[in-house]
Amino acid sequence: MRITHLTVVHPTFDSRIFHKECVSLVRAGFEVSLVAVADRSGVFDGVRVIALDQPRSRWSRLLRTGPQLLRKALAERADVYHFHDPELLWVGLALRLTGRKVVYDVHEDVPRTLETKAYIPAVLRPILVRVLGLIHRLAETTLSGIIVVTPGVGEGFARPVLVRNFPKLSEFDVTPNPRSGGPAVAAYVGIIGNIRGFGVMADAIALVRNSGIDAQLRLAGRVHGDDVQDRLAVPTATSGLRYEGLLDRAGVASLLAEADMGLVVLSGDYQPYRTAYPIKLFEYMAAGIPVIASDFPVYREIVESSGCGLLVDPSDSAAVADAITTLISDPQRAREMGSRGRAAVEQRFNWESEIDSMCELYRTVTV
């Protein structure tokens, strides 16, 4: 079976799209291509990447890159097309109208994300939320299948297939390195911005250091915001912040192997975070380190049922600092939390348990 994945928003080697879905499909015996914005076309880990031109702006991506993607997708003559961006809904519908089998992979509560888009006039956002919700319901009646990453994201659909964004166990088959001197390390992996908790984390590590504890916050990922960039530019010896840049999958595993804990204190002001499963939470658990997470119901269910970390108010830097201090001051408790988190991933929260659902959907829609 030939499967073609489509995206204009996500990077070529996106963790979910490329490393989990596409590579896993190749290993399951499918012929897989990925049409995405890339420096060059080629075959990587068995996946044939078909490069799109780099868009110069958001409007260029909509008006030029989207049509280019549709042309290249049609040339693939795939058995199933699998797209990942809401702005490609029109492409999915166009493919479906030509008789193709089309699957939409919904990564987050997309209508709700419009509420925080600064480039959309505030007066239009509630209207667009409702309109996109209607488009989603129309898409479900037209497309061949809908995949969602969490039950919360799936609430707007009648018959979604749940394929959760859990980590691949094979990426984190390392034992955390015992620290021999040096600062205690809290790690954060993902987009680095204030809506993702950067300001709270930076203030928290400053409070920990001001209390006399030698600690450091190491961050990896794309930086959003000039104010964030400015704080990261301050020397680590002064700020306690160390920016690791953009890391590949091996780099992420290496960073987490050196960490004492992982932070995922996403802001409650952004409603979609309250219903999403943050991959970083499960990657910290897979790496065998305790987590400090926002006290949202979805996160609470995971952390408390696994006994893998501490929950905090994500707007309270003092509470985050207290949690960091607690784990540093009680290393035995921290190790036990990390071990329980790793065990939970091995038993329940791993990608290996999810891929079968996606393969079965493909087989169902092509019958």
Q: Are residues 156 and 286 in the same domain?
A: no
Residues near 143 by beta carbon (within 8 Å), at least 6 away in sequence = 92, 93, 96, 102, 103, 104
| Packed helices 89-97 and 66-76: angle between N→C axes, nearest 10 degrees | 40
Q: Kindly tell me if the per-residue pLDDT of 123 is higher than 90.
A: no
68-72, 127-131, 136-140: segment of lowest average pLDDT: 127-131
Residues 140 and 158 in one domain: yes
In tens, the pLDDT along 261-284 reads 999 999 877 666 776 788 899 999
Consecutive H or E run containing 36: strand 31-37
What lies within 8 Å, CB to CB, of 323 at 6+ separation is: 292, 310, 312
Distance CA 93, CA 81 (A): 11
Residues 39, 135 within the same domain: yes
Which pLDDT score, from 0 to 100, does residue 59 have? 84
Ranges 57-61, 146-150, 313-317: which has the least confidence: 57-61
Strand duo 309-312 + 291-294: pairing: parallel
AA letter at 310: L
Asked if residue 33 lies in contact with residue 6, where contact means CB atoms within 8 angstroms, the answer is no
Q: What is the mean pLDDT of residues 123-144?
A: 81
* Residue pLDDT, tens place only, 343-359: 999 999 999 889 999 99
Asked whether residue 111 falls in the same domain as residue 188, the answer is: no
Pairing of strands 42-44, 47-52: antiparallel
Q: Mark whether 204 and 289 lie in a shared domain.
A: yes
- Tell me: do 343 and 355 sit in the same domain: no
Residue 23, number of CB atoms within 10 A of its CB: 18
Q: For residue 114, what are the domain limits?
A: 2-164+351-365
The pLDDT value recorded for residue 130 is 78
d(CA 171, CA 352): 12
Domain shared by 17 and 140, yes or no: yes
The two structure tokens encoding residue 167 = 């980590």
Q: Average of pLDDT values for 333-352?
A: 95
Question: Could you report the per-residue pLDDT of 223-252, keeping only the tens digit for each?
Answer: 999 999 999 999 999 999 999 999 998 999
**Residue that wins the pLDDT comparison between 310 and 86:** 310
Q: What CATH number has the domain bearing residue 289?
A: 3.40.50.2000
As given in the structure block, the two tokens for residue 138 are 């129309």
Q: Please count the structural domains in the chain.
A: 2
**Alpha-carbon dihedral sign for residues 29, 35, 36, 42:** positive
Q: Is residue 156 domain-shared with residue 173, that is, in the same domain?
A: no
Same domain, 302 and 173: yes
Q: Are 152 and 201 found together in one domain? A: no
If asked whether residues 140 and 66 sit together in one domain, one would say yes
Give the DSSP per-residue string, 221-273. Answer: S-B--HHHHHHHHS-HHHH-EEE--S--HHHHHHHHHT-SEEEE---TTSGGG
* Position 111 confidence tier, pLDDT thresholds 50, 70, 90: low
Indicate if 186 and 160 belong to the same structural domain: no
